[in-house]
A and B are shown apart, each in its own frame.
Chain A
C-alpha cells in the first residue's frame, strides 16, 4: 500500500486517542448494586468517527459519562492520550442526551454558547466569532438572542451542539444528539458532523439508536449488548468518504452493513 491511497479521514498510522480497558460500572452497592457496564474494551483512534449503538437502557450514556470523566469507573479504565480519565478533560466536549436540561434557561442562546469559552481564556472577540460560526453551522444564526425555552426541541438540541462546536474540542462525545430533529435537519446535521470531523480532525464518539445514522457516519460501529453491557462486536465501515445521503445510502455495502448491525442488536 502506498501513501497515496489512504482514505482522507483515517490517519495512516492510527494513533490511539481513547482507550477503554475492561471498563466496569456498577451503580449502587450491597443488595441494590446494579452492574451496568461489564468489562468494555475498545479504542478510538485520533480523528476517527466511532458510533455506539445498543438497546435502550444498555448503558450507552453511562459509558459516555465514564469517558467524559463525570463518573468514575468501578474497575478498569478509560484513557485519553494515554492518561487515565479521572475528571472532565479539557480537550473533550459532551453533547448531553438531555439537551433541554443541559441549557441554562436564564441565559440567551448566545450566552449559553459563550459561557464555557470564558474560562478557556478565549478573547471576547473570538468568543463572538466562534459563537456566530457555530450558530451558522446549525442554522440558528437568527436565534442567538432568544432564550432556549423560546425554541423548539430540535432547535434546543442544535444549540447544545453549537455549544460543543464553539468549544472546539479535540474529542467530541455526543449522546443521541440528533434524536429530536426532523428528518431534513437530521440529514443536514449528519453532514455537518462529517464536515466538522474532516475540517478540524476532531475525534468523535457518537451514540445513536438509529442504525442508518450509525453506519452512515461511522468509521467503525461499536455494537453493545445489554444487561450487563458488553461489546458485542466492532464493525469497520469502509464506505467511501466523503459520504453522501443519496449515494452512500444506495450503496449495497451500506445496506449490507446496516442489516448486520440490525441483526446484532436484535439478538440483544
Chain B
C-alpha cells in the first residue's frame, strides 16, 4: 500500500510539468489564432492522419530503418575498433590522430560529399548516420578498456582466460559503463543526423515530410512532424536507459553498496 502511494507520488512529481505544458499549449493555441501556432487539437488530428498509419510505411519505417542500420553499424564498428585500439598499442598510435580529426568534423558538413558519392538513397543516409555516430562509441570503448583494473588483466592471464571468454566476460563487461555512455551519445547523434540528412537530401522520411510541410506552408503538418520526432527521440532514450539499467545492474548495485558501506 505504502509502496503504491510512493510510486504514485514520484509519478506525479515527474509528470506535473509535462501535463501543465500540454494543457497550457492546448488552451493557448486553441484561442490564439496565430498562423505559426495552429491549435494543438488540429495538430493531433493531422498527427493521427499522417502517422497512424497512412505514411507510416512510406516514411516512418524508412527513417527508422536508416537509423537502426546506421546506429547498429556504428555501435559494432565503434566497439570493435575501440577494443582493438585499446589492446594494440600500434593500432592506437596509428589511428588515434585520424579518429580525433574525423570526430571533430561536423557530420552535417559531410552531407554534400555523401550525396556525390552515394546519391540520395537510403545507403547514403545509413552511411552518414553510422559515420557520425561511430566516434563517440569508439572513443568511450577505447577509454573504458584502457581504464580497466590491471588486477583483472592479471587474473585473466594467471587463470588463462582467453578468446571469447576474455572478450565477452572480462574485457567488455569491465568497460561496459563507459561503452554504454558512448552508445547513448552515439544514439543521440544518430537520431539528429537521421533527421538532418532527410531534411537536406531525401524524398522520404519523417525529416523530409517535416521540412516539406514547412516549405509548403503546411504549418500543422510541420508541427505533427516535429511532435513525432520529439516523441521518438524521447522513446529511444527511454528504451536505451531501460536496457542500460539491465546491463549495468551490477555496477549500480556495487556503487550503492560502496555508498552505504
- Chain A residues at the B interface, C-beta cutoff of 8 Å: 65, 68-70, 87-88, 90, 92-94, 96, 98, 101-102, 104-107, 115-116, 118-120, 147, 149-150, 163, 167
Residues of B within 8 A of A107 (CB): 169, 173
Q: Is the CB of A115 within 8 A of B250?
A: no
CA distance A94 to B152 in the complex (A): 12
Q: Is the CB of A119 within 8 A of B158?
A: no
Expressed in whole angstroms, the minimum distance between the Cβ of A149 and any Cβ of chain B is 4
| A147 touches which of B154, B158, B173, B253 (Cβ 8 Å) | B253
Q: Is the CB of B250 within 8 A of A105?
A: yes
Expressed in whole angstroms, the minimum distance between the Cβ of B221 and any Cβ of chain A is 48
CA distance A172 to B91 in the complex (A): 37
Residues of A within 8 A of B162 (CB): 119
* Interface of chain B, main secondary structure: helix
Does chain A have a CB within 8 A of B176? yes
Residues in B148-178 with C-beta less than 8 Å from chain A: 149, 151-152, 154-155, 157-163, 165, 169-170, 173-174, 176
Q: Is the CB of A104 within 8 A of B152?
A: yes
Residues of A within 8 A of B173 (CB): 104, 106-107
Q: Which of chain B's residues has its CB closest to A98's CB? A: B151
Interface 1/0 per residue, B226-261 and A, CB below 8 Å: 000000000000000000000000110110011000
Residues of A within 8 A of B157 (CB): 69-70, 87-88
* Interface of chain A, main secondary structure: loop
11 pairs, A vs B, C-beta closer than 8 Å: A87-B157, A88-B157, A88-B158, A94-B158, A96-B154, A96-B155, A101-B152, A104-B170, A105-B254, A116-B160, A116-B161
Expressed in whole angstroms, the minimum distance between the Cβ of A155 and any Cβ of chain B is 13
Expressed in whole angstroms, the minimum distance between the Cβ of B243 and any Cβ of chain A is 15
- Chain B residues at the A interface, C-beta cutoff of 8 Å: 149, 151-152, 154-155, 157-163, 165, 169-170, 173-174, 176, 250-251, 253-254, 257-258
Known: A106-B251, A118-B165. 7 other contacts (CB 8 A): A96-B155, A98-B151, A106-B174, A119-B161, A119-B162, A147-B254, A167-B159
Expressed in whole angstroms, the minimum distance between the Cβ of B218 and any Cβ of chain A is 51
Expressed in whole angstroms, the minimum distance between the Cβ of A99 and any Cβ of chain B is 9
CA distance A98 to B258 in the complex (A): 17
Q: Is the CB of B152 within 8 A of A115?
A: no
Residues of B within 8 A of A120 (CB): 160
User: What are the 3 tightest A-B residue pairs by CB atom distance, in nearest-first order?
Assistant: A116-B159, A101-B151, A106-B173
| A115 touches which of B151, B154, B161, B163 (Cβ 8 Å) | B161
CA distance A88 to B169 in the complex (A): 20
Q: Is the CB of B158 within 8 A of A70?
A: yes
Q: Is the CB of B165 within 8 A of A101?
A: no
Q: Is the CB of A150 within 8 A of B149?
A: no
CA distance A87 to B160 in the complex (A): 10
| A150 touches which of B152, B251, B257 (Cβ 8 Å) | B257
Residues of A within 8 A of B253 (CB): 147, 149-150
Residues of A within 8 A of B163 (CB): 119
Expressed in whole angstroms, the minimum distance between the Cβ of B34 and any Cβ of chain A is 54
